[in-house]
Every structure is written in C-alpha cells, then in structure tokens.
Chain A
Amino acid sequence: MINPANWMEQTSQLMRAWSEQQQNFMKAITGGVAGPANAVPPPLAGLESSLQQAQDLWRNAIEKWMAMAPQGLAKAGNVDELLKVMFDPGQWSQAGLGPLDRAIEHLVEGPSYATLWTIDKKILRAQKLRAEWARDLAAWQLLMQGAWSEALKRFLHAVHAADGEPIRTWRELTDLWVDTANEALVETHRTPEFLEAQRRLTRSSTECRLAEREIAEAYCEIHHIPTRTEVDELQRTVYELRRDLRALTKSLKSAKPRAPRKPAS
C-alpha cells in the first residue's frame, strides 16, 4: 500500500531518475549507435532533435498521468481537459515528425541566391513560386491539423465508451491514443482533398526548386561554371555511349563460337 505522505517524494525521485535516464538514453542512441559516415547512413543519425521533441511529449503525458493518480479521478478536475493537454494535437502534429518532414524539406530546400540579381525576372518568378509553395504548405498543414483534431475527438469518445475495457495504465491509455490517431490519419491520407493538397505541395515545391536552379544557372553561366542542365546533358551522352558500348561488346561476344551448353534438366 502506498503511503500518501511519501507519494510526492517518491514521485519526485522517480521523475529525477526519469530525466537522467532520458539523457543517458539520448546519449546512447545518438552517440553510441551512430557510426562513421559512409555510403550507407547510420540508422539513427540526425534524429536527436525529433527524438528529444517526442521524448518531451511522452514525459509531459506521463507526468500528467502520474499527477492524476494519487488524488484519484474524482479530485482531478476536468479529466477531458487533462487528456486534451496530454494528447494535444497541436504538439502531436509536430513532435517527432522530423523523419517524416525530411522528405518534404529535401524537396523544398534548394540553392537560394536571392541576394544576387535582384532585378532579374528569375528572382521575381522564384519568389512568386515560393509564395505559392507556402500557400500549398499551409493548406496541407490545415488538413493535417484537422486530422489530428479528429483523432483527439475520437479518442475522447473512446475513453468515454461504456462498452470498452477499463484503462488502468499509462501504456493502455497511450496505446488507445496511438491506434485511434493512426486510424484517423490514415483515413485522412486517402481523402481526395488530402491527396490533392499533397500533390499541389509536391508540385509547387518542385517548381520552386527548379526556378531557383534557373537563378543558379544564370550565375554559373556568367562565371563560366557548368550548369546543372549542361551536366545532365553530358551525363545523358555518357549514358548513351555506355549503352552503345555494352551492346557492341555483347554483339561481338555473341558472334564468337561458344561451347555447347546442356539443357537445364
């Protein structure tokens, strides 16, 4: 039986231990596993900030859960409000999304030479496209926010469901949240509105990147530096020559008489 007088002290000790362990955990996975750079990126490299973000989220949720426990639900006030704080869509739609967002960042990021050629029409076009990209990103985020809000609504509904199993642990509560949110997000991903928003975002980020390439190429041409387009053309020539060489080598080889082969029995 827990002695309520010792409760806060025990909790405080556990929370201190938790924080230390989190730090050790982060150190271990970002310092220990990530190995030397090579052609194959280490599996966990570069995840520190998104992991930390997500860890903070867990800790916040667990702390709230722990705080509820000693006083009992009857004294915990508005539990729905507490659950909303624990599983706040505003945070969940951001935390730990680093790996997911990286692809979009990769598409969006490109050379920025906005301080060069400020009167060039290319700059204006790139700026216009960047504004379009920002608009498409906002539309995409709005749909995602809607999905997270729907997830929370369904989660609260599930918590109140009269026919569900009792929820006794933080883990059971979190598993319910994860399952419910996953379902809501997957459903959103398949809607025509989301698919169109994602298509527009992909396209506008692509056009933005290509417009910035045009600016970079204008700079390259003035300074006698090969452009991306020229390098692509060169690579195409090399590709075609290689393909022709392979074909020629094979035709020469097949012209030579070869040893009889046995059928595969």
Chain B
Amino acid sequence: MPFRLQLDPAQTVHEFAELSGRLVRGSELLRSVKDQNVEVGNTPKKEVFREDKTVLYRYDAVAPRTVPVPVLVVYGLVGRYTMADLQEDRSLIRNLLAQGIDLYVVDWGNPTRTDRWLTIDDYVDDYLASCVEHICEAHGLDQINLLGICEGGVFTVCYTALHPERVKNLITTITPIDFHADQDQGRVDHGFINLWTRSLAKEDVDRLIEANGNLPGELMSFVFSSMTPLASLTKYNLGMLDVMDDEKKLMNFLRMEKWLADRPHHPGEAAKQWLKDLYQDNQLVKNQFVLSGRKVELPNITMPVLNIYAENDHIIPPQTSRALGTLVGTDDYTEIGLPGGHVGVFVSGKSQGVLGKGIVDWLRARS
C-alpha cells in the first residue's frame, strides 16, 4: 500500500470542481485574446540607421537625461532583443529610459539561408562598429556606453577589446566568457549547452551547417527544452493551467511564449565560430579568438566594466560569466549577481527594479 497517498473523496471533488471552473474561465479569456494583443518589444523607438539586415533604433526619451553618454544595447543571434522589453511593467528598456538613459538598440533582423556566410567578424567589426560610429557621429562623441546581453555580451566584449577607444563603459549581462567553467560548478541542471556542444565533433558542426545553411532556431529550441524536459512537456498543461484564469498572468505567459517562438536561425559561419572556436576551444579566455585578422585580447579592456550574472542561470552558468573579472585589464570591475535564471533576470517582477537601478547608479558614478 503506498504510504503517502491519503485520498479524501470530498477534497477530490472540490479539486476537480475548482480545476473545471478554472478551465471555463481560462477558455473564455483565451477566446478573447488575439495574436495582436500579445505584443512584445513595443516601447516606442525610431529607426536611425540600417546596413543590410541590421537596424539601429533609438528609443523615444521619457525623462530628462541623467547620463550624458548614450547606451547601445546589443543582443545576440540566438534569440531576439525583445527579451529586454517583453512588456510594459517588465522591461529593462523602459526602466532605463525612465531613469534618463539615452538608449539605442541594435536589431540583427531575421537571418535566412542567404545569410549563411556571415561571420562574427561581420557582426562585431562591421555591423556593430557601424552602429557605434553612427551614434558617435550623431552625438559628436568619441565614445559611447555598450550594454551586451548573452551572445551580444560576447560581441560587445570582442568589440571593446578591438576598439577600446570607442567604449566609455562596458556593461555585460548573462554573458559567457569562460565556456568551460560550467565544469567547475558540478550542478546537474546547469550548463547543458556547454556539455552538448563539447560532445559534438568539429566535423559534426560543419556538416550540420552544410546541410541547413545555418544553425536552425528549432534545434536551439530543442536543446534549451532538453535542459528542463518536464517543464517543457507540461507548460501548456500544468504551467498554463496555473495562470489561465488570471488575465495578467496569462498575458505574461503568452508574451514569453511569443518571445520563445521568435527564435531566429543563427547564420551558419557565425555559428561555426560560436560553437567550435568559443564553446569547444574556449578561445576567448586564451586571447586566441581572431576577428578580422586580429586577436581579441581581453586585457585591452581597460575602461570600467559592470558584469551582471544570474545566480541560477542554467544556460550561462554564473562561473562562465564571472570569469571576465580576472581577464580584463581594468581596475574598475564590478559584479552584480541577481537572483533568478537566465531570462528571469530580465522578465521577473523581482529583478525589475534591481537590474535597471544597478545599471543606472553604476553609470552615473562614472559619468
């Protein structure tokens, strides 16, 4: 006889009735929701520069400037920048704007097979460099502030190491630097991408890109899902059941789903560099990663650096981010560890105030 099972008929009926009522209310709510109601990344902004598929936007100001030098937000190619602006009350972008930051964001667009040959060299030393030049020219400045997120954090680190004269302050968030440091943590639920990538032979990566022309967004979604298999399996049942009769929570859930579904393909040649040079060979920490014929040397990063990581980040384990502190050439290095996971740092209610305020306070002290 199972020891812990204690069935109570009355409670079972009550539970079932409550569940049924929730489904009725949830179904009514869902029926009233249309795709266009589930908006992400809708903070007002204007296109100010375009080069091929890369578009630079400037957000509309909502408060008097408190930091004179603009901040350029750089996301990676694995997801979309809208994670930083998921919804009105959970938006790093809105938080920074409200505190008087002059904010730009770079959108890499939706790469297709035609973008197969683009490399990280192109993204860092060409498109990102052009965006920085545009902002410098528009403001008559020599330097701007960079804020990189995840793979975009790696792009900003590389750009800063190659062009330190153009960066006043560098902010990295949930950014992998030492791609092998996941092994130091010994957590079974952290760092699966690192492990999975190391399990591949280099030729496996090459053939995968040859067959698909890119690193398919669907494949990365699958790998992400493998990290939390049951949560992925039950999110439209248990997960959704928990929120479906509460309009606010349901909309939060749908916005997150919309962002997750919007996973672009990663351009093929850039994916080879990302998986082989960085994840497998860990070239960044060895100062061996080469872009445009030049080594990316982290000691060249001598300006102030703020590095923000998520304490329970299962995708970019904290140790892989925190490695930056020992590798850069600056004496002004600050770390902020925030509670929560990889995406939670940007979208959870708890971290909203802390993240934005942490960045703005740090910038103000260095303006």
> A residues near B, CB below 8 A?
1-2, 7, 10, 14, 17-18, 21-22, 24-25, 27-29, 32-36, 39-44, 47, 51, 54-55, 58, 62, 65-66, 68-70, 72-74, 79-80, 83, 92, 95-97, 99-100, 102-104, 106-107, 156, 158-162, 164-171, 173-175, 178-179, 181-182, 185-187, 189-190, 195-196, 198-199, 202-203, 206-207, 209-210, 213, 232, 235-236, 238-240, 242-243, 246, 250, 258-259, 261-265
Which residue in chain A gives the minimum CB-CB distance to B2? A159
> Once the chains are docked, how many angstroms separate the CA of A265 from the CA of B367?
6
Q: Mark B105-124, 1 if CB is under 8 A from A, else 0.
A: 00000100110111000100
Contacting residue for A79 out of B2, B15, B168, B260, CB 8 A: B2
Query: B232 at the A/B interface (Cβ < 8 Å)?
Result: yes
Query: B204 at the A/B interface (Cβ < 8 Å)?
Result: yes
Given contacts A21-B20, A190-B195, whether A203 and B204 have CB atoms under 8 Å apart is yes
Q: Are B200 and A202 in contact (CB under 8 A)?
A: yes
> Once the chains are docked, how many angstroms separate the CA of A54 from the CA of B232?
12
Q: Are A263 and B6 in contact (CB under 8 A)?
A: no
Q: Are A17 and B20 in contact (CB under 8 A)?
A: yes
Chain A nearest Cβ from B127, distance in angstroms: 9
Q: Are A264 and B230 in contact (CB under 8 A)?
A: no
Given contacts A83-B2, A210-B210, A232-B213, whether A199 and B225 have CB atoms under 8 Å apart is no
Q: Which DSSP category, helix, strand, loop or mixed, fits chain B's interface?
A: helix
Contact residues, B134-169 vs A (CB, 8 A): 136-137, 140-144, 168
B residues less than 8 Å from A199 (CB atoms)? 199-201, 204
A residues less than 8 Å from B262 (CB atoms)? 40-41
> Once the chains are docked, how many angstroms separate the CA of A24 from the CA of B26?
10
> Once the chains are docked, how many angstroms separate the CA of A41 from the CA of B262?
7
A residues less than 8 Å from B1 (CB atoms)? 73-74, 79
Binds A, one of B29-37, B86-94, B351-359: B29-37
Contacting residue for A264 out of B9, B51, B69, B189, CB 8 A: B69
Given contacts A35-B35, A69-B12, whether A161 and B4 have CB atoms under 8 Å apart is yes
A residues less than 8 Å from B118 (CB atoms)? 239
Query: B8 at the A/B interface (Cβ < 8 Å)?
Result: yes
B residues less than 8 Å from A92 (CB atoms)? 233
Query: B237 at the A/B interface (Cβ < 8 Å)?
Result: yes
A residues less than 8 Å from B216 (CB atoms)? 103, 106-107
Q: Are B233 and A96 in contact (CB under 8 A)?
A: yes
A residues less than 8 Å from B287 (CB atoms)? none
Query: B208 at the A/B interface (Cβ < 8 Å)?
Result: yes
Q: Are A262 and B13 in contact (CB under 8 A)?
A: no
Q: Are B10 and A1 in contact (CB under 8 A)?
A: yes
Given contacts A96-B234, A100-B232, A235-B113, 9 further A-B contacts (CB under 8 A): A10-B13, A28-B28, A36-B35, A79-B2, A107-B219, A170-B15, A178-B231, A202-B204, A259-B140
Contacting residue for B192 out of A44, A190, A262, CB 8 A: A190
B residues less than 8 Å from A80 (CB atoms)? 2
Which residue in chain B gives the minimum CB-CB distance to A185? B229
> Once the chains are docked, how many angstroms separate the CA of A190 from the CA of B195?
8
Given contacts A14-B16, A62-B16, whether A41 and B261 have CB atoms under 8 Å apart is yes
Query: B247 at the A/B interface (Cβ < 8 Å)?
Result: no
Given contacts A182-B231, A232-B213, A261-B142, whether A167 and B4 have CB atoms under 8 Å apart is yes
Which residue in chain B gives the minimum CB-CB distance to A229? B210
Number of A-B contacts (CB under 8 A): 263
> Once the chains are docked, how many angstroms separate the CA of A29 from the CA of B204?
38
Chain B nearest Cβ from A9, distance in angstroms: 12
Q: Are A28 and B30 in contact (CB under 8 A)?
A: yes
A residues less than 8 Å from B24 (CB atoms)? 21, 24
B residues less than 8 Å from A27 (CB atoms)? 27, 31
A residues less than 8 Å from B15 (CB atoms)? 169-171
Chain A nearest Cβ from B32, distance in angstroms: 7
Query: B331 at the A/B interface (Cβ < 8 Å)?
Result: no
14 contacts between A and B (CB under 8 A): A14-B20, A24-B24, A33-B254, A43-B254, A107-B216, A159-B2, A167-B5, A171-B15, A185-B230, A190-B188, A202-B200, A206-B208, A242-B52, A264-B142
> Once the chains are docked, how many angstroms separate the CA of A18 from the CA of B212?
44
A residues less than 8 Å from B230 (CB atoms)? 178-179, 181-182, 185
> Once the chains are docked, how many angstroms separate the CA of A262 from the CA of B138?
12
In the complex, the 10 A-B pairs of residues with the closest C-beta atoms, listed nearest first: A35-B35, A103-B222, A28-B30, A182-B230, A43-B257, A195-B199, A239-B117, A264-B143, A69-B12, A21-B23
> Once the chains are docked, how many angstroms separate the CA of A185 from the CA of B228?
9
Chain A nearest Cβ from B184, distance in angstroms: 15
> Once the chains are docked, how many angstroms separate the CA of A156 from the CA of B5?
11
> Once the chains are docked, how many angstroms separate the CA of A185 from the CA of B232?
12
Q: Are B234 and A178 in contact (CB under 8 A)?
A: yes
Query: B68 at the A/B interface (Cβ < 8 Å)?
Result: yes
Query: Most chain-A Cβ atoms within 10 A of its Cβ — which of B10, B218, B229, B260?
Result: B229
Q: Are B9 and A69 in contact (CB under 8 A)?
A: yes
B residues less than 8 Å from A33 (CB atoms)? 30, 33-35, 38, 254
> Once the chains are docked, how many angstroms separate the CA of A175 from the CA of B237?
12
B residues less than 8 Å from A167 (CB atoms)? 4-6
Chain A nearest Cβ from B366, distance in angstroms: 10
Which residue in chain B gives the minimum CB-CB distance to A18? B20
Q: Are A182 and B229 in contact (CB under 8 A)?
A: yes
Query: Most chain-A Cβ atoms within 10 A of its Cβ — which of B122, B222, B367?
Result: B222
